[in-house]
């Protein structure tokens, strides 16, 4: 039998993983039909999300016992601060959202739920619990970019207002960050006993479901703001 690895986490919550990675938000983003207000709401909330996500990698650094683990956490933090957040602020400006407006954005409840779930899971558990709680984010978005590119209805280039968003997550740098997270988790899952696998599978499923809510809230802005 193959040793347990990241794919097992996805398989254990197959339907939830599919609901997240093939969400209506992504289908509409892929063919360019997503309402602009939904995307702007997403961008503003994602700014708040990314700040907590960076804090979660800082927590991973704090919880590291080895230089290798510390470096892995540092890579994650750098990917968010230097790659995603820098681009995010620039990108929001292009969508008419200034940095000042981002800082003023009230946090929607699904943003609070997801980010605090990750931070709490990381504080209560060990480094593996924390990386598994983060996995739907970094690995999920890398797989989402691949999924979008594989769909026949996807429109790329100037005809799709969301083309640059797809470009960010298909980029070599982002894909490499996701691969390094997969490798780290795969190595930690080898030889894990079944009850421990069940625990982390539960964390993975919960984080995946919270990602789905993060897409869904953008269609129901008034319900959450």
Ligand X SMILES: Cc1ncc(CO)c(N)n1
Interface residues toward ligand X, by CB under 6 A: 46, 49-50, 84, 137-138, 141, 211, 214
Q: Which of 137, 143, 181, 206 is catalytic?
A: 137
Tokens of 96: 């008419």
The secondary structure of 136-188 as a DSSP string is: HHHHHHHHHHHHHHH-TT---STT-TTHHHHHHHHSHHHHHHHHHHHHHHHHH
Taking the complex as a whole, how short is the minimal distance between the CB of residue 50 and ligand X, in angstroms? 6
Tell me how far, at minimum, the Cβ of 169 lies from ligand X, in Å.
7
**Residue (93 or 198) nearer to ligand X, CB:** 93
> Is-catalytic flag, 92?
no
Q: How far apart are CA 162 and CA 20, in angstroms?
A: 18
Nearer to ligand X, 39 or 49 (CB): 49
Instruction: Give the shortest CB-166-to-ligand X separation in angstroms.
Output: 13
Question: Is 181 annotated in the active site?
Answer: no
Give whichever of 154 and 212 is closer to ligand X, judged by the CB atom: 212
Give the residue from 145, 141, 133 showing the smallest Cα distance to 57: 133
In angstroms, what is the minimal distance from the CB of 140 to ligand X? 6
Instruction: Mention every residue, 6+ apart, whose C-beta is less than 8 A from residue 28.
Output: 34, 35, 38
Residues 6+ apart with CB under 8 A from 91: 43, 164, 165, 168
Which of residues 118 and 201 has its CB atom nearest to ligand X in the complex? 118
Burial class for 181, CB neighbours closer than 10 Å (0-12, 13-18, 19+): buried
Query: Which residues belong to the active site?
Result: 137, 211
């Amino acid at each position: 039998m193959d040793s347990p690895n990241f794919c097992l986490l996805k398989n254990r919550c197959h339907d939830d993983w599919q609901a997240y990675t093939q969400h209506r938000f992504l289908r509409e983003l892929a063919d360019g039909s997503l309402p602009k207000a939904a995307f702007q709401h997403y961008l503003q909330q994602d700014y708040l999300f990314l700040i907590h996500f960076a804090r979660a990698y800082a927590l991973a650094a704090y919880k590291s016992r080895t230089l290798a683990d510390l470096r892995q956490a540092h890579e994650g933090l750098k990917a968010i601060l230097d790659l995603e957040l820098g681009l995010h602020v620039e990108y929001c400006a292009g969508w008419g959202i200034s940095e000042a407006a981002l800082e003023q954005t009230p946090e929607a409840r699904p943003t609070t739920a997801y980010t605090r779930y990750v931070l709490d899971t990381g504080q209560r558990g060990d480094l593996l619990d924390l990386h598994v709680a983060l996995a739907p984010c970094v690995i999920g978005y890398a797989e989402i970019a691949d999924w979008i590119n594989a769909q026949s209805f996807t429109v790329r280039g100037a005809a799709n207002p969301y083309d640059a968003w797809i470009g960010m997550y298909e980029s070599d740098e982002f894909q490499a960050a996701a691969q390094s997270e997969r490798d780290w988790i795969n190595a930690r899952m080898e030889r894990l006993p079944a009850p421990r696998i069940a625990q982390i599978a539960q964390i993975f499923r919960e984080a995946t479901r919270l990602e789905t809510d993060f897409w869904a809230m953008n269609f129901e802005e008034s319900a959450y703001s």
